[in-house]
Amino acid sequence: MQALLAMWSEKFVGYPDGSDLPAHHDHCLGCGPENPHGHRLRAVRHGDGVQAWHTFDNRHVGAPGIAHGGAVATVVDDLYGFLLFLEGGPAVTRQLAVDYLAPVLIGTTYRLDAQVARREGRKLFVTAGATAPDGRPVITSTAVFVKVSVEHFAQGISPDVPGD
């Protein structure tokens, strides 16, 4: 547990504009490089926000050729999680809304952007969007994240769960 806490704290350093942001942890469904079911999302700092380029594959299909809406929401949720590296501390999703404007196609690369719209006490009000190669917006999203201490994550630590 101490090692995990230390590993997590080390990620909250300054990230210059354009720099790669680290995965939340190796088995994270959104960005973990060791999760075979995951999206392996990679994001960079882009001004005061974060940006990613992402292609859904057939592991995340809903209707044939179209990404499952839950998979899209997962990626958006995880993208928000990269904003936390710029905020300087952990927070968790309390509320997530996704507006699906157009199908997100398997095998097409989308640009995703997220930013903090406003801060209020422990709450971060965040917004995101995904854009198709032709510039059309395909989703927009809003979410509320609530800042927590690292001890919050101790609730999930079990010696029997792979990845802990």
Torsion of CA 2, 3, 8, 14, to 10 degrees: 110
Identify the helix (H) or strand (E) that includes residue 9.
Answer: helix 2-10
- Which range binds ligand 3IX by CB under 6 A, 35-43, 48-56, 90-98, 127-135? 90-98
Residue indicated by tokens 């996704």: 98
Binding-site member from 78, 106, 110, 139 for ligand 3IX (CB under 6 A): 78
Q: Does 73 bind ligand 3IX (CB under 6 A)?
A: no
The alpha helices in 57-132, defined as continuous H runs, are: 69-87
Where in 114-153 is the site for ligand 3IX (CB under 6 A)? Answer: 121-123, 144, 146, 148, 150, 153
Residue 162: strand, helix, or coil: coil
Separation of alpha carbons 18 and 144, rounded Å: 25
The pair of three-digit structure tokens given for residue 35, joined into one six-digit string? 């999760």
Q: Is 108 in the site for ligand 3IX (CB under 6 A)?
A: no
97 binds ligand 3IX (CB under 6 A): no
Least distance in angstroms from the C-beta of 159 to ligand 3IX:
13
Residue 24 sits in the site that holds ligand 3IX (CB under 6 A): yes
Which of 6, 63, 92, 102 contacts ligand 3IX by CB under 6 A?
A: 92
**Residue 86: Cβ within 10 Å count:** 17
Examine residue 63 and tell whether it contacts ligand 3IX (CB under 6 A).
Answer: no
Transcribe 19-58 into DSSP letters: -B---S-TT-TTT-TT-TTS----EEEETTEEEEEEE--G
Q: What is the distance in angstroms between the CA of the first residue and the CA of the last residue of the chain?
A: 9
Q: Which C-beta is closer to ligand 3IX: that of 67 or that of 114?
A: 114
Which amino acid belongs to residue 64? P
Active-site residue, 26 included: no
Give the nearest distance from C-beta 164 to ligand 3IX in angstroms: 9
Please list the active-site residues: 77
Chain residues binding ligand 3IX by CB under 6 A are: 1, 4-5, 8, 24-25, 30, 77-78, 81, 84, 90, 92-95, 121-123, 144, 146, 148, 150, 153-154, 157
